Amino acid sequence: MASSQAIDLVPIGHGSNIVFVDDLDAVVILINLRGRSKTAEVATAAAGEPWHDFVEWTLYNQLYGLENLALIPGTVGAAPIQNIGAYGVELDEFVENVSVIDTETLEESSIPASDCGFAYRQSRFQKEKKLLVTGLSLRLKQTPDPQLCYPGLKDRLAMDKLSETPVNIFETVCRIRAEKLPDPARLPNVGSFFKNPVVTATRAENLQLRFHGLPVYPPGSDTDRVKLSAAWLIDQAGLKLARVGGFEVSEQHALVIVNLGGGRKADLLALIKQVQTQVHHRFGVDLEPEPGFLPIN
């Protein structure tokens, strides 16, 4: 492995959360480490395992907890990088440890969850680029513990007359995602383009008094604060179908920016700015992009 001081190393899983805005002067490492194992409550997978297959495998092995995180694109190794989450569940709730290799010293180690710096869409790995994730161990549950705080999920189960079993939750999450999100294979996108803004509960209440219907989600690991729906803010600012060059705010889901073809870097940056400016102007709330950009500057 090359020294990262001499040359940049960029690990890539499935590339589903990266926006390539220019040519990249770096060594790209495609993570393809494979293998899964389990003990009574701990499921472990190598970094190159596809995330969704791992979720399905844990369910098959009657280890519960990951069903709300079904169908998130990408690899197991990338999951802790931005601490993936969906439908009221965040990865860090389950992390036992993250196995890494330091690309400068070639030392291997296992980092316990408490040292991973997890927060909403955050971890220490986003800053410590020299740490390459090689595997992930999750402590799961042997008895089902349905997490249905996300109203859309609970309502959909009720509408489809399904009991709240892990398999039904898994399948319902897959169904909702397939209906709601534009398929990146057909219309290139990186999923949510902006993070849900995290604010104090008091600020959220004040905003809800002024803007009726603003959805507020319960906190993940950050218990003092709440998340505002970025999709709602963008939609209410009238930005669905806003377009600059080849990039457009998806009509299907306001949080997604799609590349209609031929989009240039300047177009994307202009559209991001337009969304941020209009949402700030209307609600006084700042939106921060979720995906990583390469090259970084």
Ligand X SMILES: Cc1cc2nc3c(=O)[nH]c(=O)nc-3n(C[C@H](O)[C@H](O)[C@H](O)COP(=O)(O)OP(=O)(O)OC[C@H]3O[C@@H](n4cnc5c(N)ncnc54)[C@H](O)[C@@H]3O)c2cc1C
Tokens of 120: 């909403």
Q: Taking CB under 6 A as the rule, does residue 230 contact ligand X?
A: no
Stretch that binds ligand X, among 72-80, 143-151, 193-201, 270-278 (CB under 6 A): 72-80
Strand partners, 72: none
Locate all alpha helices (DSSP H) within 190-264, ordered by sequence: 201-210, 230-236
Query: According to CB under 6 A, which one of 55, 95, 157, 190 is a site residue for ligand X?
Result: 190
> Does residue 290 have an active-site annotation?
yes
Options 49, 90, 99, 121, the catalytic residue: 121
Q: Taking CB under 6 A as the rule, does residue 65 contact ligand X?
A: no
Q: Taking CB under 6 A as the rule, does residue 132 contact ligand X?
A: yes
Q: In what order do the strands lie in the sheet with 36-38?
A: 36-38, 42-46, 131-139, 95-102, 108-112
- Under 8 Å between Cβ of 79 and 123: no
Query: According to CB under 6 A, which one of 44, 58, 82, 103 is a site residue for ligand X?
Result: 82
Stretch that binds ligand X, among 75-83, 111-119, 164-172, 264-272 (CB under 6 A): 75-83
Q: Taking CB under 6 A as the rule, does residue 73 contact ligand X?
A: yes
Q: Give SS3 for 115.
A: helix
Count of beta carbons in the 10 Å neighbourhood of residue 7: 10
Q: Taking CB under 6 A as the rule, does residue 208 contact ligand X?
A: no
- Under 8 Å between Cβ of 195 and 164: no
> Does residue 225 have an active-site annotation?
no
Q: Taking CB under 6 A as the rule, does residue 98 contact ligand X?
A: no
Query: Residue 178, class by beta-carbon neighbours within 10 Å (0-12 exposed, 13-18 middle, 19+ buried)?
Result: exposed
Distances, alpha carbon 153 to alpha carbons 17, 170, 177, in Å: 24, 10, 11
> Does residue 175 have an active-site annotation?
no
- Pick between residue 52 and residue 203 the one whose CB is nearest to ligand X: 52
Q: Taking CB under 6 A as the rule, does residue 196 contact ligand X?
A: no
Q: Please give the residue ranges that form the binding site for ligand X (CB under 6 A).
A: 10-18, 31, 47, 72-75, 77-79, 81-82, 84-86, 125, 132-133, 181, 184, 189-191, 292
Residues with catalytic function: 121, 192, 290
